[in-house]
Structure 1
Amino acid sequence: MSLADSDRELVVEELGREPSRAEAALFENLWSEHCAYRSSRPLLSAFESEGERVVIGPGDDAAVIALPERADDDAGDGANEGTGATESGDGSRTCITMGIESHNHPSYVDPFDGAATGVGGIVRDTLSMGAYPIALADSLYFGEFGREHSRYLLEGVVEGISHYGNCIGVPTVAGSVDFHADYEGNPLVNVACVGLTNEERLVTAEAQEPGNKLVLVGNATGRDGLGGASFASEDLAEDAETEDRPAVQVGDPYAEKLLIEANEQLVDEGLIESARDLGAAGLGGASSELVAKGGLGAEIELERVHQREPNMSALEILLAESQERMCYEVDPENVDRVREIAERFDLGCSVIGDVTDGNYVCTHQDETVVDVDAHFLGEGAPMNDLPAAEPAQPDTDLPDADLEDAFDAVVSSPSTASKRWVYRQYDHEVGVRTSVGPGDDAAIIAIREANTGLAISSGAAPNWTAAAPYEGARAVALENATNIAATGATPLAAVDCLNGGNPEKSDVYGAFTGIVDGLADMCATLSTPVVGGNVSLYNDSVAGPIPPTPTLAMVGTKPGYDAPSLSVQAADESELLLVGDRALDGDDEVFSLGGSEYLAQFDGSDRFPALPSAPAELVETLAAVADDDATLAVHDVSHGGLAVALAEMVTDDAGLDVSIPASDPLGALFHEQPGRALIQTDSPAAVREAFDGIAPVVSLGSATDDGTLTLSVGDDQVTIAADEIRERRATIETELA
């Protein structure tokens, strides 16, 4: 590890002396791109993060959002044992926390531990807000599925997520999996967590008062994960899998489960003044950031930290990223009770120092190894002023293909095929809150404390943002909102994980700027505040940069906990309608296939499709229609276009007879304009009336009872049974069985 010359000059000027070895390492890690957002922070002001329900926005370990309270006799009357959140009885609002983080480089070096500790870290971010974790969503991106190394990474990452999440008893209910050649040298693992609390139980990462104690609770500190923050801020080298292994943390989910329950009791008893989980830059990062946010300092005796390895140096104790650890600010008179609770849950507990009104000072064996201003350490990194080149627009190159061959290729593509192999390894029902689980447009979690259903959607679309960063990112936001609306919920808030390559390359930084602006613009249009997030840059390797990837995790709320079926129902009098397809609106249709799986399969390019003209009204109306009693089924249309959406709706008991009024079969079936939905309804006239002036509504056909999809476009026709569709869509399961 070494501090850059320009940064060292600033540090020397501030300190009036050369930094110690421990100080230089702290500055290197806390001023890294991973911690300081030196290249991205100037762009993040584009996001609107305020709203009437935003209790705590960006800047803390997780955001806090107040849920709408719905009056009902069945709303519940108090504590729900084992859920963590209770109605306080004093009128405080029920809240959720939202957070998201990346563990990209560690998951390339060690897929199992890299992904597992990503889950552990975002769960501890939830704990530090005084919340109980109730749901996880993971969005995963790998190289081409046909490559053995991509499958190796996929299997290891999924195993790591399932092992950790299942062991700690937090359901993984939503997410996405995408494959793209440009992730071959650098996969992405983005994990979001939703927690439950209320306003009376909130804790923040802002130190409160000099004289309070700093208490470290959890696993012992070892030498794993040293320099993880700086490692995450560099391109992956060709030998990263061997040379960077020490920078990857090793998780212990059973200790995390004990930490979850201990944290819950500490919060219930009001013993915590502030909290920060130990993640990037370890104890040095957590403790300095905690006091810096309060405008305070600290005096820490590093030898007091409970350690699992002998003879650890001051630098190792400060920067090790050993997992399952929390740093608490505790009133001196509550320290003994905190220690008792830690011992009850078989967790280590060390009183390591005091909050002060001076500098951030660390000693080791009576030697001062760190003495710096905490605010300068946490906030003093200069921002980068980088050139951004406008991404080139692709030329139009539309390959021709036989309709049936194209249908098979797109429906069976690993990116659009069933992800059942992935999510069946996750326990998505633990906690008895999951009403709609993975495999649907969005998951729904029952928040009985507020008598509210919470819909969760998470993902991005690398084909979209690779083709058109700005428009593709706008489409990602609209796509997640449409997923939420298809369950009958209205969007409430979102967090993002902005992944990009090396920002020092002007074309990469230009594309990254595009996804930031695109995501921000559409979320603002949807009146959905972006309340927090994570930035991961330097996702670049010898294979080249990743596609700009703006993962968005969005939540919405609805009355009740149910959703219309995604699958078509065998109902004689019903009609299948397509809502929102701009290209089918009139006789002069022009289909844009940019960013589509069809072009990925058949090697072509085109401009990105135009988005709906009234996206906010479309989402609001779709949510209302989805919740109507006359609606039998709703399914969002996105990746793979109409072909994939229709294939996913057919079951052994109910089929579809569909006729698409278009002269271009390939364009009609495979373009991926977001903001579209298929609606099976008993009242088509009411649906048309609801969307009048908002979005076009086209009748496609009706349900059958033969379990077959009959698809006619002009003179072309595809007929395929539900069991054959399942077989084609089982690509991942078949290959990995």
Structure 2
Amino acid sequence: MTLDTVKHASETPDVKLPWAELGLKEDEYERVREILGRRPTGAELAMYSVMWSEHCSYKSSKVHLRQFGEKVPENDAMLVGIGENAGVVDVGQGYAVTFKVESHNHPSYVEPYQGAATGVGGIVRDIIAMGARPVAVVDPLRMGDAQHPDTKRVLPGVVAGIGGYGNCLGLPNIGGELVFDACYQGNPLVNAGAIGVMRHEDIHLAKASGPGNKVILYGARTGGDGIGGASILASETFDDTKPSKRPAVQVGDPFQEKLLIECTLEAFAEKLVVGIQDLGAAGLSCATSELASNGSGGMRVDLDDVPLRDSTLTPEEILMSESQERMCAVVEPEKVERFLEICEKWDVIATVVGEVTDGDRLEIFWHGEKIVDVDPRTVAHDGPVYERPYARPSWQDALQADDANKLARPANGEELREQVLKLVAAPNQAAKSWVTDQYDRFVQGNTVLAQTEDSGMIRINEETGLGVAIATDGNGRFAKLDPYTGAQLALAESYRNVAASGAKPLAISDCLNFGSPEDPDVMWQFAEAVRGLADGCLELGTPVTGGNVSLYNQTGEAAIHPTPVVAVLGVIDDVARRTPMAFEEEGQLLYLLGETREEFGGSAWSQVIHGHLGGLPPKVDLAREKLLAEILISASRDGMIDAAHDLSDGGLVQAVTESCLRGGKGARLVVPDGLDAFTFLFSESAGRAVVSVPRSEELRFTDMCGARGLPVRRIGVVDGDAVDVQGEFTLPLSELREAHEGTLPGLFA
């Protein structure tokens, strides 16, 4: 007689199960028992443990994330919002673009190459699952102290993993950041983003509808390399000394993923797929429970049909495995044969593992035994919701009172010169070409802007020139000083970067990286950052289409700086009218847009010169940011400017240095009336950009700025082979280049 494991669980309530070892709290385990009306089977326990993890369920952040759904700006571009694999926006001409940013932080510290590589693979599968062809990736990174020996272990591995996986997929890496700070020493942040393009009618969602439709698992075989992977690693305070963590890091195969992409897109083109879900965090547990709960019925799955790399895997391990390059499709019975033919054509293993039922249960079988019988919604959506206590930290006032504006400033032009050289050579301000040269930025031939430009830009229609731009930004130092303002500054900078390239900002995705939610200080930072981001998006008219929350980013008691990373997506009607950052034409006039104030809290100058963090971050004026963006976009479209660069980390002197080195032309600068040279060069006031204007366009450009009420000052001219701040100092481009470009190769090559 066949044993029904579910029935056996009902008859043996006192059997001890390892719920704590799987990451569940005692009250969570009791809640599972209450939902089921009995103790769970081992397989059910495995599913609830991974799906109720912090990484998958957002149990500590849900109460705050609701603001993104409550404070939604009017925006006709949004086609698919929060809750799906990735957000989708309308970019015109019948095209839709999907994009998202996620984290793979802890796995990348344990095993840098595979952790970063599989972060790229996972985000790309989210894009495929929406029905889109992936067209580009981005990689916002945060590492520990650049001088620390362990940073020299982690960073090269992470860069090699991102480049190795993305290059093999044939996807250009067009943007991202690299920031060093000691707060990330034991917990680097490896965030990964991707963009995909489709026609409106090709959008697909993760749902299993239609009783009798078949559930097909296709892609790589399931192995033991990713059991518990991201879902467990990312859901507790990190301790890299635990050997049990090491096998949890997934192993990626980009060539398998490339086949998976082409196979999936061909199946989409032939209208063979009813619903689809990638297998990422929580693996088969996630795919089956989410497809079933989002559909109109139940689902029956037979684990005996799952292709395995390791025949010794238990059913619990099969359900928890996060082996890469796998997807789950729901296909009508009469289309199964054709779907399998396409998989065979692309050398992709595909197996029917179940079917949609007319009930409301997710039932999973193993060797003829029923090992799972649950309401799928209780697994996928009805996890615990915590209202964690939070309070403004006791140290916040003292941190803000430690005013960076009182730090010692350079006394003369020679000291200014020395500090400029020191700033542009510091790891955070230095050229990142040692990293970006390891990525293929131009594969596919549609990249029109890439690192180190303000935003990456991809052409999506060769005939019309339609394109999209993306920028990612986040300043943990600003967020540490004031998380509400810091989140808005991240949004504003990313928004400004997109506009500086000539694209109109449309929508955002975010990756919210914070410490332990069990710490009231951290939860206050998180709550404030979410509030700031939601308020900011409402004012700018850029809805949040989706994103990721990464908590428990700390080793022991030391949390990272609160680091909300914001990705802004923009659209440009014709990429031929884009604005690059390079100063290339001698004689063009340099104009500074926006207001410059004495704002040095959290600045690059305070960090590099004084090793200081304190005071208040720059003020945010989102109405001014919106106006600046409109001016930059109009000037780009109408040919009034030839180059633009936003002012942010490092201030004006950093932006001018980068634009001069990029174009190989120098600049003569004059300190405007009412500003001292130090504030002019190093202030990090927000809402500013520097542009180069052809002399023939000067009157038209300044008239536009004046008519719209945007402060504008002529500050110099593109000229010579040096950055010459008149009356203060001269720095030859050769000296600046040596300082700016030698740092990272010297540390990591």
Q: Give the TM bin, normalised by the shorter chain.
A: over 0.9
* 1:603 maps to which of 592, 599, 611: 611
Displacement of 1:134: 0.2
String of CA shifts for 1:679-721, please: whole Å, max 9, x gaps. 11123333332223543112211121x2110024xx6x23111
Aligned to 1:626: 636
Q: Equivalent residue of 2:392, what SS? A: coil
Partner of residue 16, structure 2:
none
Question: 1:447 — aligned with what?
Answer: 460
1:405 equivalenced with 2:421 (yes/no) = no
Name the residue aligned to 1:725: 736
Question: In the aligned structure 2, how far is the partner of 1:238 from the partner of 1:633?
Answer: 46
**Cα distance in 1 between the residues matched to 2:611 and 2:260:** 50
* The one of 213, 217, 236 aligned to 2:238: 236
Distance 1:718 1:148, change over 3 A: farther
Q: CA deviation at 1:227?
A: 1.2
Tell me the residue number matched to 2:57: 36
Supply the distance in 2 between the matched residues of 1:494 and 1:517 (Cα, whole angstroms).
15
Give me the whole-angstrom Cα distance separating, in 1, the residues matched to 2:747 and 2:637: 38
Q: How many angstroms apart in 1 are the aligned matches of 2:372 and 2:665?
A: 69
Q: Map of 1:57-136 to 2, 5 A cutoff?
A: 57-69=81-93, 93-136=94-137
Query: Retained in 1: the 8 A contact 2:446–2:460?
Result: yes
Contact persistence 1:582–1:696 (CA under 8 A): no
Question: Which of residues 353, 370, 392 is equivalent to 1:390?
Answer: 392
Tell me by how many angstroms 1:521 deviates.
Answer: 1.9
Question: Which secondary structure state, in structure 1, belongs to the residue aligned with residue 312 of structure 2?
Answer: coil
Aligned to 1:301: 302
3-state SS, counterpart of residue 117 of structure 2 = helix
Quick one: which amino acid aligns to residue 144 of structure 2?
G
Aligned-pair CA distance for 1:238: 4.2
Q: What amino acid is aligned across from residue 679 of structure 2 in structure 1?
A: G
Q: Secondary structure at the match of 1:631?
A: coil
Work out whether residues 449 and 580 of structure 2, in 8 Å CA contact, stay in contact via their aligned partners in 1.
Answer: no
Aligned partner of 1:696 among 698, 703, 711? 711
Residue number among 555, 558, 562 corresponding to 2:569 in the alignment: 555
What is the CA-CA distance between 1:155 and the residue it aligns to? 0.6
What stretches of structure 1 of length at least 5 have no aligned partner? 70-92, 584-590
Within a 5 Å distance, the mapping from 1:405-484 to structure 2 comes to 405-448=418-461, 451-484=465-498
Which structure: greater helix fraction?
2
How far off its partner does 1:328 sit?
0.4
In structure 2, the residue matched to 1:27 is 48
Q: Which residue of 2 aligns with 1:366?
A: 368
1:530 matched to 2:551: no
| Paired amino acid for 2:602 | G
Q: Could you say which residue in structure 1 is the equivalent of 2:688?
A: 676
Deviation of 1:625 after TM superposition, in Å, equals 1.6
- Give the distance between the partners of 2:569 and 2:679, measured in 1 at CA: 32
**1:565 positional shift:** 3.2
1:636 to 621, 637, 646: 646
**After the TM superposition, which of the residue ranges 456-465 and 484-493 deviates more from structure 2?**
456-465
Counterpart Cα distance in 1 of 2:67 and 2:700: 38
Residue 255 of structure 1, CA deviation: 0.3
Deviation at 1:529, TM superposition (A): 1.2
Cα distance in 1 between the residues matched to 2:582 and 2:624? 27
CA contact (8 A) 1:222 1:320 kept: yes
Q: Say if 1:694 and 1:244 are closer, same or farther in 2 by CA, change over 3 A.
A: farther
CA-CA distance at 1:438 after TM superposition: 1.5
Shift of 1:295: 4.4
Task: Identify if the C-alpha distance between structure 1 residues 581 and 733 changes in structure 2 by more than 3 Å, giving closer, same or farther.
Answer: farther
Q: Deviations over 1:46-79 (max 9, x none)?
A: 224562111111111111111123xxxxxxxxxx
1:153-552 matches, cutoff 5 A = 153-228=154-229, 229-240=231-242, 242-356=243-357, 357-391=359-393, 392-393=396-397, 394-395=400-401, 396-397=403-404, 398-400=406-408, 401=410, 402-448=415-461, 451-542=465-556, 544-552=558-566
Tell me the secondary structure at the aligned position of residue 92 of structure 2.
coil
In structure 1, the partner of 2:9 is none
How many residue pairs get matched? 701
Distance in 2 between residues matched to 1:510 and 1:334, nearest whole Å:
51
Q: CA separation in 1, counterparts of 2:488 and 2:416? A: 30
CA shift, 1:667, in A, is: 2.9
1:298 positional shift = 1.0
- SS of 1:614's equivalent in the other structure is helix
Residue 650 of structure 1 aligns to a residue whose secondary structure is helix
Say whether the 8 Å CA contact 1:459–1:553 is kept in structure 2.
yes
Q: CA deviation at 1:581?
A: 2.2
Instruction: Give the % identical residues.
Output: 38
User: Which of the residues 619, 641, 659 maps onto 1:649?
Assistant: 659
User: In the TM superposition, what is the alpha-carbon distance from 1:407 to its structure 2 partner?
Assistant: 1.1
Give, in whole Å, the separation in 1 of the partners of 2:544 and 2:526.
17
Deviations 1:501-542 (A, max 9, x none): 001111111111122122222222211111111111111113
- Aligned-CA RMSD value: 1.6
SS at match of 2:670: strand
Whole-Å separation in 2 of the counterparts to 1:261 and 1:556: 27
Comparing 608-617 and 254-263, the one that deviates more:
608-617
CA separation of 1:338 and 1:26: change in aligned 2, threshold 3 A:
same
Cα deviation, residue 390, structure 1: 2.0
Q: What amino acid sits opposite 2:553 in the alignment?
A: N
Q: Displacement of 1:187 after TM fit?
A: 0.5
Contact 1:49/1:58 (8 A) holds in 2: no
* 1:16 aligned residue: 37
Residues 576-615 of structure 1: pairs in structure 2 closer than 5 A: 576-583=590-597, 591-601=598-608, 602-604=610-612, 605-612=614-621, 613-615=623-625
TM-score (norm 2): 0.91
Cα pair 1:423 1:438 within 8 Å, conserved: yes
Distance 1:330 1:663 in 2: 67
Q: Secondary structure of 2:642's match?
A: strand
Q: Is the Cα–Cα contact under 8 Å of residues 278 and 328 in structure 2 kept in the other structure?
A: yes
CA distance in 2, matches of 1:663, 1:624: 28
Tell me the CA shift for residue 312 of structure 1: 1.5
Question: 2:296 & 2:709 partners in 1: Cα distance?
Answer: 50
State the match for 1:85 in structure 2: none
| C-alpha distance after superposition, 1:78-121 (max 9, x if no partner) | xxxxxxxxxxxxxxx21111122110010000000000000000
| Distance in structure 1 (CA, Å) of the matches to 2:377 and 2:296 | 7
Q: Check 1:539–1:300 CA distance in 2 against 1; reply closer, same or farther (3 A cut).
A: same
Equivalent residue letter for 1:367? E
Whether the 8 Å CA contact 1:570–1:655 is kept in 2: the answer is no
Q: Report the Cα distance in structure 1 between the residues aligned to 2:111 and 2:709, rounded to whole angstroms.
A: 48
Deviation, structure 1 residue 490: 0.9
Query: In the alignment, is residue 566 of structure 1 matched against residue 554 of structure 2?
Result: no
8 Å CA contact retained: 1:295, 1:375: no
Q: Give the partner amino acid of 2:367.
A: Q
Q: Aligned partners of 1:627 and 1:199: how far apart in 2?
A: 26
Q: Which consecutive aligned stretches of 4+ in structure 1 deviate over 4 angstroms post-superposition? A: none
Q: Point out where structure 2 has 5 or more consecutive residues left out of the alignment.
A: 1-20
Q: Could you tell me how far 1:543 is from its partner in structure 2?
A: 6.6
When normalised by structure 1's length, the TM-score is 0.93
Residue 451 (structure 1) shift? 3.8
